[in-house]
A and B are shown apart, each in its own frame.
Chain A
């Protein structure tokens, strides 16, 4: 399979009055054609900043890409100018934003907002762009799209605005679609429809998708692989099966334990992870999760853990995988689900170059 996106050693900071917020710290991941990668993690872990950086949409200043490369189809987009980025945005990569209430221009008709990109990138005439806009609205399940194209965002409900947002992003037929919590504002049935829609499009056009969510239930439904973010870093990545049935990082354990059980939702206890996320202006020494980690070892407070490889596709950044670490039992809710996967290596391998 062909890689469409490689993010290498990416660090992003924001300069604020309180100091430099290191929102993303040395993030690495890649994405194949037609694949769906889910990024999960609690609020403030850097999911939106990471993905917006891929389109270079973070406000600069105060934001800054401190280091790293973003290879899109093999070409680094970090050094590209705004002008050059115009050819990537909305054509090669498009994005569904988190907040549908504020992400649409209140004084421009919905139809126009969908048409703009089409006219710019696909040289469509106004009338054919309008037809396509109507078609897109119909596709995302908005009734009476002929009438709706001429309405303003305030005439749409929250869920409909989210759909309009999705229509804008999909109209471009992007090679890479970034969906930042596209379904949080929607009720469950519509959520399912939207997810169905995205899968549908993916199979038709072989689109790659990065899907950001808090909802692990959704992850199981749509994703091929999962990246778990914590404190601006990716702490564990693997296939959906690996993350759900053989998680290795204590933060992933915490996330899974806090999720209502997947198979048998009876008696599923919801255990929130105690404590607060780390301060990114002054990231803790060692493992960022240590202060909230019941399995923390002395070393976690002193040195940043390296990356360990557990299978071809499974990586985790925790000292617990070090040969000298004691064997620990994950929480019951996680343990109940644990399975032996055939692809797992005999023992974790320290990744070369991992710090």
Chain B
């Protein structure tokens, strides 16, 4: 296991290095970027930038400098607002985004698993069709449309929940639901198909032959095995939650990191885009690693083989 984690850590660092490098050079390509000179900027910002990036240095020095800063957890200044750094934005916005994301992941997992398991247990009955219709809806409607429609009906039209902002628990309901909708649908479908596959396995028949009840078989034999693909979906799930948060935070006026990121995109605030992208990449890579470790803990076959499934 230790060997496996070490190997994964190395991969992670390589991926991260590539991302940072790619971001750096991409930004040099961008029209009107801080690294080219044909731009009109307030002189004081220009001076700050020049100083911060050592723009008079050759590109490799700038690049080395940037890598060093990232390694020291310094994501750089804002190109538009001279008093705020990317680190400020992160420490201000990320806790909010994290709370929203965690709530959405919980909802997506809970509802998705329940729907998927019900659909599989009642394969080809109305429960199955009902659950899958909900799932297909969740997959087919883009999140910004889903969020706007939910907001319109539940908050504006019927006034059941607050329209926007992030103040109380009530404020969190609509955004987390909207953010959870499409991952929930994916989880429901994934759970259903993996449950169906597991239920067709010989060892389920063995369990039946012992006279165990349907409930015990489902809980003790089927679900644990069916959960494995869902666990590996947690990586893409966290990516989906992050990108989904751009949309949701924007629509519900939530002061999270996603919201700041979208603003920086519309402002073409390149240094912020760059810094936040790198930050998000780190978060994602770490969560994928955590998921893989969790997978190893759930599937007893992985521990021994050291990373490869099966014998």
Q: Mark B253-281, 1 if CB is under 8 A from A, else 0.
A: 00000000000000000000000000000
Chain B residues contacting A82 (CB-CB under 8 Å) are 214
B207-226 at interface with A (beta carbon < 8 Å):
207-214, 216, 220-221, 224-225
> Do residues B202 and A87 form an inter-chain contact, with CB atoms below 8 A?
no
Q: Is A91 an interface residue (CB 8 A)?
A: yes
Residue of A whose beta carbon sits closest to that of B298: A107
Q: A103-B205, A105-B203 are in contact. Are A154 and B311 (CB under 8 A)?
A: yes
Q: Is A250 an interface residue (CB 8 A)?
A: no
Q: Is A108 an interface residue (CB 8 A)?
A: yes
- CB contact between B300 and one of A85, A106, A165 (< 8 Å): that residue: A106
Chain A residues contacting B220 (CB-CB under 8 Å) are 108, 116
A97-131 at interface with B (beta carbon < 8 Å):
97, 99, 102-108, 113, 116-117, 120-121
Interface residues on A, range: 35 or more
Residue of A whose beta carbon sits closest to that of B203: A105
> Do residues A106 and B225 form an inter-chain contact, with CB atoms below 8 A?
yes
- CB contact between B209 and one of A89, A99, A106, A107 (< 8 Å): that residue: A89
Q: Is B206 an interface residue (CB 8 A)?
A: yes
Q: Is A152 an interface residue (CB 8 A)?
A: yes
B184-232 at interface with A (beta carbon < 8 Å):
200-203, 205-214, 216, 220-221, 224-225
When chains A and B are docked, how far (Å) is the Cα of A85 from the Cα of B201?
A: 20
Chain B residues contacting A121 (CB-CB under 8 Å) are 211
> Do residues A106 and B208 form an inter-chain contact, with CB atoms below 8 A?
no
CB A293 to nearest CB in B, in angstroms, measures 35
Q: Is A252 an interface residue (CB 8 A)?
A: no
Q: What is the interface size of chain B, counting residues whose CB is below 8 A from a CB of the partner?
A: 26
- CB contact between A86 and one of B206, B211, B224, B301 (< 8 Å): that residue: B211
Q: Is B88 an interface residue (CB 8 A)?
A: no
Q: Is B29 an interface residue (CB 8 A)?
A: no
When chains A and B are docked, how far (Å) is the Cα of A59 from the Cα of B208?
A: 11
Q: Mark B82-97, 1 if CB is under 8 A from A, else 0.
A: 0000000000000000
Q: Is A168 an interface residue (CB 8 A)?
A: yes
Chain A residues contacting B212 (CB-CB under 8 Å) are 86, 90, 116-117, 120
Q: Is B299 an interface residue (CB 8 A)?
A: yes
Chain B residues contacting A99 (CB-CB under 8 Å) are 202
CB A309 to nearest CB in B, in angstroms, measures 35
- Max chain A CB contacts within 10 Å: which of B200, B207, B213, B304? B207
> Do residues A102 and B201 form an inter-chain contact, with CB atoms below 8 A?
yes
> Do residues B211 and A97 form an inter-chain contact, with CB atoms below 8 A?
no
Give the interface SS of chain B, mostly helix, strand, loop or mixed: helix
> Do residues A103 and B202 form an inter-chain contact, with CB atoms below 8 A?
yes
Chain A residues contacting B205 (CB-CB under 8 Å) are 52, 57, 97, 103
> Do residues A94 and B209 form an inter-chain contact, with CB atoms below 8 A?
yes
A145-168 at interface with B (beta carbon < 8 Å):
152, 154-155, 165, 168
Residue of A whose beta carbon sits closest to that of B221: A105
Chain A residues contacting B311 (CB-CB under 8 Å) are 154
Q: A102-B201, A102-B203 are in contact. Are A107 and B300 (CB under 8 A)?
A: yes
> Do residues B210 and A55 form an inter-chain contact, with CB atoms below 8 A?
no
CB B201 to nearest CB in A, in angstroms, measures 7
When chains A and B are docked, how far (Å) is the Cα of A350 from the Cα of B200?
A: 44
Chain A residues contacting B207 (CB-CB under 8 Å) are 105, 116
Chain B residues contacting A59 (CB-CB under 8 Å) are 200
- Max chain A CB contacts within 10 Å: which of B200, B298, B300? B300
When chains A and B are docked, how far (Å) is the Cα of A120 from the Cα of B220?
A: 13
Q: Is A212 an interface residue (CB 8 A)?
A: no
Chain B residues contacting A40 (CB-CB under 8 Å) are none
CB A21 to nearest CB in B, in angstroms, measures 17
When chains A and B are docked, how far (Å) is the Cα of A312 from the Cα of B101?
A: 77
Q: A89-B211, A91-B211 are in contact. Are A102 and B202 (CB under 8 A)?
A: yes
When chains A and B are docked, how far (Å) is the Cα of A94 from the Cα of B200?
A: 20
Chain A residues contacting B206 (CB-CB under 8 Å) are 97, 103-105, 113, 165, 168
CB B287 to nearest CB in A, in angstroms, measures 23
Q: Mark B121-165, 1 if CB is under 8 A from A, else 0.
A: 000000000000000000000000000000000000000000000
When chains A and B are docked, how far (Å) is the Cα of A81 from the Cα of B10?
A: 56
Q: A107-B300, A152-B301 are in contact. Are A88 and B211 (CB under 8 A)?
A: yes
Chain A residues contacting B298 (CB-CB under 8 Å) are 107
- CB contact between B299 and one of A107, A165, A168 (< 8 Å): that residue: A107
Chain B residues contacting A87 (CB-CB under 8 Å) are 211
- CB contact between B210 and one of A52, A83, A154, A168 (< 8 Å): that residue: A168
Residue of B whose beta carbon sits closest to that of A61: B124
When chains A and B are docked, how far (Å) is the Cα of A205 from the Cα of B211?
A: 21
Q: Is A95 an interface residue (CB 8 A)?
A: yes
Chain B residues contacting A113 (CB-CB under 8 Å) are 206
A136-193 at interface with B (beta carbon < 8 Å):
152, 154-155, 165, 168-169, 172
When chains A and B are docked, how far (Å) is the Cα of A207 from the Cα of B46?
A: 92
> Do residues A89 and B210 form an inter-chain contact, with CB atoms below 8 A?
yes
Chain A residues contacting B202 (CB-CB under 8 Å) are 97, 99, 102-103
Residue of B whose beta carbon sits closest to that of A172: B210
When chains A and B are docked, how far (Å) is the Cα of A90 from the Cα of B206?
A: 10
> Do residues B225 and A90 form an inter-chain contact, with CB atoms below 8 A?
no
CB A115 to nearest CB in B, in angstroms, measures 10
> Do residues B210 and A104 form an inter-chain contact, with CB atoms below 8 A?
no
25 CB-based A-B contacts, threshold 8 Å: A59-B200, A86-B212, A87-B211, A89-B208, A90-B209, A90-B212, A94-B210, A95-B209, A97-B202, A97-B205, A102-B202, A103-B203, A103-B206, A104-B206, A105-B221, A105-B225, A106-B203, A106-B300, A116-B210, A116-B216, A120-B212, A152-B300, A154-B300, A154-B301, A165-B206
For the complex with contacts A90-B210, A116-B216, A168-B206, 10 further pairs of A-B residues with Cβ separation under 8 Å are A85-B211, A86-B211, A102-B201, A103-B205, A106-B301, A116-B207, A121-B211, A152-B301, A154-B300, A168-B210
Interface residues of A (CB under 8 A from B): 52, 55, 57, 59, 82-83, 85-91, 94-95, 97, 99, 102-108, 113, 116-117, 120-121, 152, 154-155, 165, 168-169, 172
6 tightest A-B CB contacts, nearest first: A90-B211, A90-B210, A89-B211, A117-B210, A102-B202, A105-B203
